[in-house]
Amino acid sequence: MTVKPAPTENLLTPSEVATLFRVDPKTVTRWAKSGKLSSIRTLGGHRRYLESEVRELLTGVPQQRSE
């Protein structure tokens, strides 16, 4: 099949974001609930986070998105 040039944003799991920030996954959830961090939801309700946004918050430097 043809592999399209995925206009896809890389997503991170809650635990991955938590590891990057050295906090508890629950804290990451609180950030999402309070609107400090945007999130995508799986069909089961689990959250996924935009890697570019997380990187930017970590470094303070705007990251390049793949879209």
Contact positions vs a second copy (CB under 8 A) = 1, 6, 8, 10-13, 19-23, 27, 31, 36-37, 40, 42-44, 48, 57-59
Q: How many residues does the chain have?
A: 67
Q: How far apart are CA 5 and CA 29, in angstroms?
A: 31
Which residues, at least 6 apart from 25, have a Cβ–Cβ distance to it below 8 Å?
14, 15, 17, 18
Site map 9..38 versus DNA, x via CB under 7 A: ----xxxx-x---xxxxxxxxxxxxx----
Q: Which residues bind DNA (CB under 7 A)?
A: 1, 13-16, 18, 22-34, 42-47
